[in-house]
Amino acid sequence: MEVVITSSPDEIAQLAADAVQRLIESTDRPVLGLATGSSPLSTYRELIERHRDGRLTFARTSAFLLDEYVGLPPGHPAAYRTFIEHEFAEHVDLPDDALYGPDGCSDDLAHESVAYEQQIASAGGIDLQLLGVGSDGHIGFNEPASSLGSRTRLKTLTDATRADNARFFGDDVDAVPRHVLTQGVGTILEAGHLLLLAAGESKAGPIALAIEGPVTAMVPASALQLHPHATVIIDEPAAQALGHADYYREAFANKPPWQHI
């Protein structure tokens, strides 16, 4: 795992956008995995800016959502598809039919989960998966105790995650659905490159556990330790509980120029 400690959230966005751009420029049919939440927002803004400047096209790209709430009707402002459309997709030239997400309104959620896995496989798998981390160490909506081999499926959110996400529902925790569909930890681990982004002091605990703690289903983000190409890009406040921060800084500063993130 590579840990990159940056001096600002803006640098996180620059580095993450560089990785996305390199993928797009080096691949015929790039496949992105898109996360919601605050963490990837500045990266989406940077990608949009590069697109507007004519530096980046998403015309050959397809994109898969990490997760979705169950039961929110299409177009609901807090639905993850709506979030990704508003914050990213509708500002770039990603083809309309190239944004995939699990249908949280399906009347057969088990079948929908399997079908979503098949859609990812048919696209050739996800090349680069953007990730954030929840305060309890979740990735996607894989809450603690999620199997490290899990696939896309229905999950029940913890009360803590529902409280964290109430800000997207007018601060009404009761409006946050209890159930979600999420790519599993095993699904996420099959992406070619995992890019976990985190900024701010509130991420320091889960980041330290994910990087330096044991691999455990109780901290689903610790599964990144099993992946051959996982990069964690964080700012100083999110790095403050790491025991080996000096080493990560030194390794990044002395990286051979030919070796990208």
Residues recognised as catalytic: 67, 136, 138, 143
Q: Does 224 bind ligand GLP (CB under 6 A)?
A: no
Contact of 166 with 121, CB cutoff 8 Å: no
Least Å distance between CB 35 and ligand GLP? 5
Q: Does 177 bind ligand GLP (CB under 6 A)?
A: no
Is 176 or 259 the residue whose CB approaches ligand GLP more closely? 176
Q: Please state, in angstroms and rounded to a whole number, the distance separating the CA atoms of residues 27 and 29.
A: 6
Contact of 43 with 13, CB cutoff 8 Å: yes
Q: Does 112 bind ligand GLP (CB under 6 A)?
A: no
Q: Does 142 bind ligand GLP (CB under 6 A)?
A: no
Is 30 or 132 the residue whose CB approaches ligand GLP more closely? 132
User: Could you give the C-alpha distances from 96 to 35, 44, 59, 60, 147, in angstroms and in order?
Assistant: 18, 17, 10, 12, 33
Q: Does 207 bind ligand GLP (CB under 6 A)?
A: no
Closest alpha carbon to 65 in 162, 10, 132: 132
Residues β-bridged to residue 153: 182
Q: Which of residues 52-91 bind ligand GLP (CB under 6 A)?
A: 66-67
Closest alpha carbon to 210 in 106, 137, 117, 104: 137
Q: Does 221 bind ligand GLP (CB under 6 A)?
A: no
Judged by CB under 6 A, which of 30, 101, 134, 177 binds ligand GLP? 134
Is 19 or 196 the residue whose CB approaches ligand GLP more closely? 196
Contact of 103 with 115, CB cutoff 8 Å: no
Q: Please state, in angstroms and rounded to a whole number, the distance separating the CA atoms of residues 147 and 132.
A: 18
Judged by CB under 6 A, which of 104, 137, 140, 192 binds ligand GLP? 140
Q: Which of residues 20-49 bind ligand GLP (CB under 6 A)?
A: 35-39
Closest alpha carbon to 179 in 198, 151, 157: 157
At 195, which amino acid appears? L
Q: Does 187 bind ligand GLP (CB under 6 A)?
A: no
Judged by CB under 6 A, which of 133, 211, 219, 238 binds ligand GLP? 133
The residue ranges that bind ligand GLP (CB under 6 A) are 35-39, 66-67, 132-134, 140-141, 161, 165
